[in-house]
Amino acid sequence: MGARIYLDWNATAPVRPAVVEAVRLALGETGNASSVHGEGRAARNRLDQARRQVAAMVHCLPSEVVFMSGGTEANNAILSLASWRNVLVSAIEHDSVRLVRPDAIVVPVTSQGIVDLAWLANALAKVEGPTLVSVMLANNETGVIQPIGEIASLVHAARACLHSDAVQAAGRMAIDCRAIGCDYLSLSSHKIGGPQGVGALIVRGTAPFAVRQVGGGQERGRRGGTENVAGVVGFGVAAGLATEGLAMMTTVARLRDRFEAGCLSKLPAAHVWGAAANRLPNTSCIAMPGVAAETQVMALDLAGIAVSAGAACSSGRVRSSHVLAAMGAAPPNESIRVSLGEATTEAEIDRLIAVWCGLANRRRGNVTQAVAA
């Protein structure tokens, strides 16, 4: 069967060797970043360096970076603020956004997975009081990139605030908080080759924010608890390398296109979700009609290829995708997500095409035999 092929980078990216070394060195040092002695100041310096690296990745001020345990906590931290009288979320948000506020107004998307801007503008015209709109920068299942700049203009014209989950976008497209105009931005370390269990919420300027977790006043009083210094250090190194690696995304996009073209040439009935939209260069969500996503994922896994179906935060369950359902998929459970990275090769993509198309041919053969019988 040969070496395994990892094509689930959107679930978690392989940890970069330089990150491993940086974390190892940080773990070898002793010191609490809140202490005033030499060891404590050294730990604080390591945190400050990582804060600058993360800020540089998304073009914000270091003081606007609040380190957290990951993208889920960052999303929860801002969506759960009691001060929001109204919360609007897009229909394709990650569960860590859409499940926080059961009373949230759900903004529909088009068949290409783009937020319906006219619908959003109309909804904003009807709400009163403190309002938050949450729209992810790029979707974790389809890779579709939202017109965040246009959305920010609509949101701010209505005197509301904008949060964007940029967990999947980081390291795969350039992000400039100032240019896109968001008030809050969520990030996660392990999506860009850093350690798991570390992330950040960017709180821009004077955007409102209330502390949920109190303790020792860490993170400028915005999140209590001793910082995960080694994890944050790894996050910072990964952020710097992810920025440098953006130049590789052209090659990654070519490999994604190679995969889609190869599959569609042999199975014209297949469908690539969001193909007509602006997408992340590394992400493809493709449907094999008549074959459940779980069957596809298992067959590929047995062939030594790791892909996924939907989001990776479902406790090992494969379930129908609310993202594809919002885009009009019927049924929404016949698609897999293939997500590439800088280490992906043409040979790996060609192997994936062969295995995926082989599965499709076997399934069609079984159907033909059943009909003939």
Q: What are phi and psi of 130, to 5 degrees?
A: -55, 125
Do 155 and 133 contact (CB within 8 A), yes or no?
A: yes
Token look-up 């801002």 returns 78
Nearest to 75 by CA among 182, 166, 172, 194: 166
Nearest to 200 by CA among 47, 3, 42: 47
Nearest to 277 by CA among 110, 50, 68, 33: 110
Residue 166 burial (CB count, 10 A): 28
Nearest to 80 by CA among 67, 105, 94, 98: 98
274's torsion region: left (phi>0), alpha (psi -120 to 50) or beta? Answer: left
Query: H-helix or E-strand containing 337?
Result: strand 335-339
CA dihedral sign, ordered 310, 76, 62, 44 = negative
DSSP per-residue letters across 2-63: -S-EE-BTTT-PPPPHHHHHHHHHHHT----TT--SHHHHHHHHHHHHHHHHHHHHHT--GG
**Could you confirm whether 313 is annotated as catalytic?**
yes
Nearest to 155 by CA among 207, 226, 99: 207
Residue 200 burial (CB count, 10 A): 31
Q: What are phi and psi of 90, to 5 degrees?
A: -75, 155
Say how far apart CA 58 and CA 183 lie, in whole Å. Answer: 13
Token look-up 């926080």 returns 100
Task: Spot the catalytic one: 60, 182, 313, 357.
Answer: 313
CA dihedral sign, ordered 62, 68, 72, 76 = negative
Cite the active site residues. 313
